[in-house]
């Protein structure tokens, strides 16, 4: 029986692949090894201009006003009273960018970085990422 | 000897997207009775809101649902705006409607794909998923991320529409008008798909009224209900929205799964038309009333009262009621009534007389969002649930406090 789907399937034979290819050319024997060698990995499609990824924090510019903590829905920022600066727990952050909006000196910005899962919670804390690079 | 069997579907089942258990009483393959058991995914979001200020709760409300996240955000924001009398500039209203329609398209196409998957029509499922990518790209272009857009805020939206985005939207509308029709025809004209969905999971018009079904489920049963028409909000007051009901297109409403499929698919076209109207009528001017968040927070701290926000989410009426207390930063209380909760009452009716193999399809035909729906949970120390009244709860609380006091420990 020739139904409408066959027309579509036939059309699909001649159209491009819809998905982004698997990160590696062949299935590697060990995925962990393969992922630690960035050259072997096909690059992911770039993120959009407004993408909200991992926070960048320009520590030198921060004035310690704690406003970012007031609006953070995930309580992802902690204040270090001795230094009057904040630290950001990236594992808690939900990437709402609310803190970047309220910061009076704009020392918080969203980067395009998204691959940040790790087993190490303590290592996943941003203390300082330096001055923001334009276009990054 | 009894000839009926009891079979559970879920809470974890390949055919289900979210955990919900249906205990089915079977006579052979036929479902005689069904009992829904919920409570596997309650998260206590309202409780978390009580230690957060309204700006923080925006993002919390966004996490109620991953698919209709913007609907929940908007219902919450409208509730707060209702009580604090924040005015939204027209451009902000139009952008909100635009995101709502984009979200509806994305939700309905996703559901249509999953419905095909539920009947084993995997080619159409993949086609649906491919279709959906286009609107996801657009949402990403406007808001930066694919889910949890974070685009709404009190008094408007956070990001404006760029000319580039407007052009991309018009391209998308053209794309869907051209490419979505084959998908619709592939499923709706397919004799096997018809056989699997026609007459399955029927909810009659009278039952839909009696058990207060909402959204596409109610419309598929022939009810002309749509909040965008009956109580227009945002930009919908400028553009008439006619509820999509099957009798207008096919002559009669059966209230079965095929009708629910048809309603959702036809609503995609309706949303495309609305998007076009929104883009054509997009007013100039500011898109948010107040950009200084400190001022917003300060004014919300002063606000007091109860506010309501009700909107037509992709699955039906989404109601949020919020209360703020003057002088307090945090939300006093917050009540969410997700559309699935209203429609879920009719679930057991839909199972009657159907075959066991159709059970996942019937569950999915509601487009259930179980995590939206589960707003309260009652449980006892043994892990099973029983219902207690308010008086009983207060009595138990007092008893517990007394025992703790008697022990000389902290009362908390
Ligand atoms: S992006 Fe949002 S969740 Fe993350 S630190 Fe900033 S305010 Fe908190
Ligand atoms: S709002 Fe900005 S300046 Fe203030 S504490 Fe946060 S990061 Fe520092």
Sheet holding B331-337, edge to edge: B305-313, B316-324, B331-337
Considering only CB atoms, B59 lies closest to which of A48, A73, A102, namely A73
| Cα gap B177→B171, rounded to integer Å | 10
Bridge-based pairing state of the strands B30-37 and B152-153: unpaired
Q: What is the DSSP string of B75-115?
A: HHHHHHHHHHT----HHHHHHHHHHHHHHHHHHHHHHHHHH
Q: For position A31, what pLDDT does the model report?
A: 73
Q: What is the DSSP string of A27-65?
A: --S-HHHHHH-GGGSPPPPPPPTT---SEEE-TTT----
How far is the first Cα of chain A from the last one, in angstroms, to the nearest whole number? 55
Which of B174, B195, B203, B170 lies closest to B346, judged by CA? B203
DSSP 8-class letter at B370: H
Does the pLDDT at position B1 exceed 60? no
Q: Does A4 touch chain B (CB under 8 A)?
A: yes
Q: For position B368, what pLDDT does the model report?
A: 86
Q: Does B24 touch chain A (CB under 8 A)?
A: no
**Span from the CA of A113 to the centroid of ligand 2 (angstroms):** 21
Q: For position A133, what pLDDT does the model report?
A: 59
User: Region A4-8: what's the mean pLDDT?
Assistant: 85
| Cα gap B400→B394, rounded to integer Å | 10
pLDDT tens figures, A51-109: 999 999 999 999 999 999 999 999 999 999 998 999 999 999 999 999 999 999 999 99
Residue B240 phi/psi, 5° resolution? -70, 135
| Residue in B with minimal Cα distance to A96 | B150
Question: Among positive and negative, which fits the CA dihedral B164, B169, B175, B178?
Answer: negative
Give the mutation candidate from B45, B56, B184 for the A interface (greatest A CB count, under 10 A).
B56
Which of B51, B64, B52 lies closest to B371, judged by CA? B64
Sheet holding A85-89, edge to edge: A77-80, A85-89, A125-126
Residues A4, B189: C-beta atoms closer than 8 Å: yes
Query: What ipTM score was computed for the predicted complex, to two decimals?
Result: 0.85
Q: For position A135, what pLDDT does the model report?
A: 45
- The residue that leads in pLDDT, A18 or B386, is A18
Q: For residue A79, what is the enclosing H or E element?
A: strand A77-80
Long-range contacts of A19-23 (CB under 8 A, 24+ apart): A20/A44, A20/A45
CB-CB contact of B161 with B282 (8 Å): yes
| Maximum C-alpha span of chain B | 75
CB-CB contact of A3 with B188 (8 Å): no
| Cα gap B54→B37, rounded to integer Å | 33
CB-CB contact of B257 with B362 (8 Å): yes
Length of chain A: 136
CATH code of the domain occupying B45-372: 1.10.645.10
Which residue CA neighbors atom 6 of ligand 2 most closely? A68
| Cα gap B130→B122, rounded to integer Å | 12
- The nearest CA of chain A is from the CA of B59 a distance in Å of 6
Q: Does A79 touch chain B (CB under 8 A)?
A: no
- The residue that leads in pLDDT, B350 or A115, is B350
Extents of the domains making up chain B:
45-372, 378-412
Low-confidence winner among A44-53, B196-205, B375-384, B388-397 (lowest mean pLDDT): B375-384
Question: Among positive and negative, which fits the CA dihedral B58, B59, B60, B62?
Answer: positive
Low-confidence winner among B252-261, B315-324, B359-368, B370-379 (lowest mean pLDDT): B370-379
Q: Is B155 helix (H, G, I), strand (E, B) or coil?
A: coil
| Cα gap B125→B107, rounded to integer Å | 14
User: Counting Cβ atoms within 10 Å, is residue B406 exposed (0-12), middle (13-18) or buried (19+)?
Assistant: exposed
Does the pLDDT at position B412 exceed 70? no
Structure tokens at B290: 């107040």
Domains of chain A: 2-40 (no CATH), 55-126 (3.30.70.3270)
Query: Structure pTM?
Result: 0.89
pLDDT tens figures, A12-63: 888 888 777 776 666 777 777 776 776 666 777 788 888 999 999 999 999 9
Radius of gyration of chain A (CA): 21
Q: For position A136, what pLDDT does the model report?
A: 42
Q: Does B150 touch chain A (CB under 8 A)?
A: yes
Percent of chain B whose pLDDT exceeds 90: 55
Long-range contacts of B226-232 (CB under 8 A, 24+ apart): B226/B312, B227/B310, B227/B311, B227/B312, B227/B317, B228/B312, B231/B310
Residues B141, A50: C-beta atoms closer than 8 Å: yes
Q: State the CB neighbour count (10 A cutoff) for residue B57.
A: 25
């Amino acid at each position: 029986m020739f139904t409408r789907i066959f027309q579509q399937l036939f059309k699909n034979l001649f159209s491009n692949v819809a998905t982004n290819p698997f990160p590696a050319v062949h299935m590697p024997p060990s995925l962990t090894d393969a992922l630690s060698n960035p050259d072997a990995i096909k690059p992911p499609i770039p993120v959009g201009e407004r993408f909200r990824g991992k926070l960048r924090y320009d520590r030198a510019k921060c004035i310690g006003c704690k406003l970012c903590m007031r609006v953070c829905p995930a309580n992802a920022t902690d204040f270090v009273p001795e230094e009057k600066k904040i630290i950001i727990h990236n594992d808690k952050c939900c990437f709402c960018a609310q803190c970047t909006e309220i910061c009076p000196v704009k020392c918080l910005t969203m980067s395009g970085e998204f691959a940040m899962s790790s087993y190490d919670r303590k290592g996943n804390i941003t203390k300082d990422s330096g001055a923001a690079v334009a276009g990054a | 000897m009894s000839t009926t069997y009891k079979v559970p579907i879920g809470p974890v089942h390949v055919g289900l997207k979210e955990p919900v258990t249906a205990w089915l009483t079977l006579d052979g393959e036929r479902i005689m009775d069904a009992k829904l058991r919920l409570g596997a995914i309650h998260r206590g979001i309202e409780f978390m809101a009580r230690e957060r200020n309204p700006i923080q709760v925006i993002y919390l409300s966004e996490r109620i649902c991953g698919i209709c996240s913007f609907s929940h955000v908007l219902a919450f924001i409208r509730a707060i705006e209702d009580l604090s009398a924040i005015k939204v500039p027209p451009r902000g209203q139009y952008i909100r409607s635009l995101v709502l329609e984009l979200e509806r398209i994305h939700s309905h196409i996703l559901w249509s794909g999953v419905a095909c998957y539920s009947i084993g029509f995997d080619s159409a499922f993949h086609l649906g998923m491919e279709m959906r990518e286009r609107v996801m790209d657009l949402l990403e272009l406007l808001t930066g991320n694919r889910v949890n857009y974070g685009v709404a805020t009190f008094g408007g939206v956070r990001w404006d529409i760029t000319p580039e985005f407007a052009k991309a939207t018009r391209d998308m509308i053209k794309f869907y008008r051209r490419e979505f029709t084959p998908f619709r025809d592939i499923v709706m004209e397919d004799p096997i798909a018809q056989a699997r969905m026609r007459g399955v999971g029927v909810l009659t018009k009278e039952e839909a009224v009696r058990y207060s079904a909402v959204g596409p489920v109610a419309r598929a049963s022939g009810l002309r209900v749509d909040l965008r028409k009956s109580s227009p909000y945002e930009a919908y007051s400028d553009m008439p929205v006619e509820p999509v009901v099957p009798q207008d297109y096919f002559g009669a409403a059966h209230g079965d799964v095929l009708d629910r499929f048809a309603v959702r698919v036809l609503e995609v076209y309706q949303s495309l038309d609305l998007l076009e109207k929104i883009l054509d009528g997009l007013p100039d001017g500011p898109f948010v009333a107040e950009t200084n968040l400190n001022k917003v927070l300060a004014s919300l701290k002063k606000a007091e009262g109860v506010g309501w926000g009700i909107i037509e989410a992709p699955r039906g009426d989404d109601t949020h009621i919020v209360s703020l207390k003057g002088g307090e930063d945090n939300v006093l209380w917050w009540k969410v009534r997700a559309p699935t909760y209203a429609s879920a009452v009719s679930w057991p009716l839909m199972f009657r007389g159907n075959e066991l193999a159709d059970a996942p399809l019937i569950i999915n035909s509601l487009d259930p969002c179980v995590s939206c729906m589960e707003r309260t949970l009652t449980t006892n120390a043994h892990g099973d649930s029983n219902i207690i009244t308010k008086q009983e709860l207060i009595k138990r609380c007092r008893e517990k406090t007394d025992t703790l006091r008697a022990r000389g420990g902290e009362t908390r």
